[in-house]
């Protein structure tokens, strides 16, 4: 540096006047370097973090696998743990802090949560080819559907809640069967236990293969929004925001454009 900074002697080393001045000048620079190092460390920790996710059955079975593959392309060092449960339990897990991000399919979101639409879905009425509805020439009406005993999911599932909301003005018959998984409902309907109302994502292959027949219900809105949820007032972590971005860009065919996932206002 062109100046003597330290006097060395038998009893140790001491700063010269020039050394003391340089040390003062360097203090702010070293503090800034510490801040920079801490920031880089936090980014590295974030990049190798764990993201805890909970999702409803329909989303977990038919949408999340593709989302997670794309997520891993951008954040290969982030580990995701996934819990699959119905929408009410997903919201409870997010509120309890046991997961960082949830995906639900019900018509409403619980108090205390912020949400963002990530995709859209449509429920359809399905029956086996041998069912009378598969051969009817007159459209099925909402009152007829409401009066029919259906094979259904449990009351807290997003699919059941969405159907009840769509039929809310009408009095509905009790289910003929209540089953805890979408695949069980689909199999029971195909076996002739009764009509079912399920996500078009869940029955698409069965309808294409002829195992089930979709029965239109003109005048009944069975569309629904699929949402990501997180605790109200908090900003999702960087891995959670990345999964939101992937989910938004991987929306189901025919879905609207919606709102950017990084626009986190209600």
Per-residue pLDDT tens digits for 9-56: 888 899 998 888 888 888 889 878 877 776 665 555 555 588 999 999
Same domain, 238 and 146: no
Same domain, 203 and 135: yes
Could you give the maximum distance between any two Cα atoms of the chain, in Å?
A: 107
pTM of full prediction above 0.75: no
pLDDT tens digit sequence for 217-226:
999 999 999 9
> What is the predicted pLDDT for the residue at 266?
35
> 3-class SS at 196?
strand
Give CA–CA dist 77/238, Å, rounded.
13
Statement to judge: residues 114 and 127 lie in one domain:
no
> Is 149 within 8 Å of 194 (Cβ atoms)?
yes
The answer to whether residue 104 scores a pLDDT higher than 80 is yes
- If asked whether residues 143 and 219 sit together in one domain, one would say yes
Distance of CA 106 to the CA centre of its chain: 12
The closest of 195, 200, 251 to 228, measured between CA atoms, is: 251
Q: For position 201, which CATH number holds?
A: 3.40.190.290
Q: What is the pLDDT of residue 24?
A: 86
Q: β-strand 50-55 against 101-104: which pairing, if any? A: parallel
The verdict on residue 261 lying in a domain is no
Q: Work out the pLDDT band at 212, boundaries 50, 70, 90.
A: very high
Instruction: Based on the fold, state whether residues 166 and 96 are members of the same structural domain.
Output: no
The domain in which residue 241 lies consists of 50-119+228-249
| Whole-number Cα distances in Å, 103 to 72, 96, 244, 245, 256 | 18, 15, 10, 13, 18
Give the pLDDT confidence of 128-181 residue by residue, as tens digits.
999 999 999 999 999 999 999 999 999 988 899 999 999 998 999 999 999 999
Contacts 24+ apart (CB under 8 A), 38-46: 46/237, 46/238, 46/239
In a domain, 39, yes or no: yes
In this structure, is the dihedral angle defined by the CA atoms of residues 247, 104, 200 and 256, taken in order, positive or negative?
A: negative
Which has the higher per-residue pLDDT, 242 or 40?
242
Q: Does residue 42 share a domain with residue 165?
A: no
Q: Quote the number of domains for the chain.
A: 3
pLDDT score of 111 more than 90: yes
pLDDT for res 45: 53
Inform me whether the pLDDT recorded for 263 exceeds 50.
Answer: no
Q: What is the DSSP letter of 132?
A: G
To 10 degrees, what angle do helices 200-209 and 182-190 make? 30
Please return the burial class of 208, using the count of CB atoms within 10 Å of its CB with bins 0-12, 13-18 and 19+: exposed
| Domain co-membership, 76 together with 41 | no
Residue 232 pLDDT exceeds 90: yes
The reply to whether 148 and 209 lie within a common domain is yes
Using CA atoms, how far apart are residues 150 and 217, in angstroms rounded to an integer? 15
Q: State the CATH number of the domain containing residue 61.
A: 3.40.190.10
Residue 65 and residue 85 in one domain? yes
Rounded distance between C-alpha atoms, residue 263 and residue 118, angstroms: 12
Same domain? For 115 and 238 the reply is yes
pLDDT for 86-100, tens place per residue?
A: 999 999 999 999 999
Do 173 and 197 fall within a single domain?
yes
Is 256 contained in some domain?
Answer: no
How many Cα atoms are found within 13 Å in the side-chain-facing hemisphere of 37? 6
99 assigned to some structural domain = yes
Mean pLDDT of 57-75: 92
The mean of the pLDDT values for the chain is: 88
């Amino acid at each position: 540096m062109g100046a003597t900074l330290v006097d060395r002697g038998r009893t140790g080393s001491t700063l010269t006047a020039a050394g003391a001045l340089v040390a003062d000048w360097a203090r702010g620079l070293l503090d800034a370097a510490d801040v920079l190092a801490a920031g880089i460390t936090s980014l590295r920790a974030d990049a190798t973090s764990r993201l805890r996710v909970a999702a409803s059955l329909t989303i977990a079975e038919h949408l999340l696998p593709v989302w997670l593959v794309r997520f891993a392309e951008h954040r290969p060092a982030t580990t995701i743990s996934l819990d699959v449960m119905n929408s009410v339990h997903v919201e409870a897990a997010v509120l309890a802090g046991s997961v960082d991000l949830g995906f639900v399919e019900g018509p409403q979101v619980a108090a205390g949560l912020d949400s963002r639409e990530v995709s859209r879905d449509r429920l359809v009425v399905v029956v086996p080819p041998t069912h009378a509805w598969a051969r009817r020439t007159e459209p099925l009406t909402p009152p007829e559907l409401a009066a029919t005993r259906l094979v259904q999911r449990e009351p807290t599932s997003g699919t059941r809640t969405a159907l009840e909301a769509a039929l809310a003005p009408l009095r509905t018959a009790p289910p003929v069967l209540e089953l805890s998984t979408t695949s069980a409902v689909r199999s029971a309907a195909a076996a002739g236990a009764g009509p079912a109302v399920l996500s078009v994502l869940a029955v698409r292959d069965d309808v294409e293969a002829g195992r089930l027949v979709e029965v239109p219900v003109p005048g009944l809105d069975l569309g629904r929004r699929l949402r990501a949820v997180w605790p109200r007032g908090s900003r999702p972590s960087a891995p959670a925001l990345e999964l939101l971005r992937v989910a938004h860009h991987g929306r189901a065919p025919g879905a609207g454009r919606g709102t950017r996932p990084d626009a986190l206002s209600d």
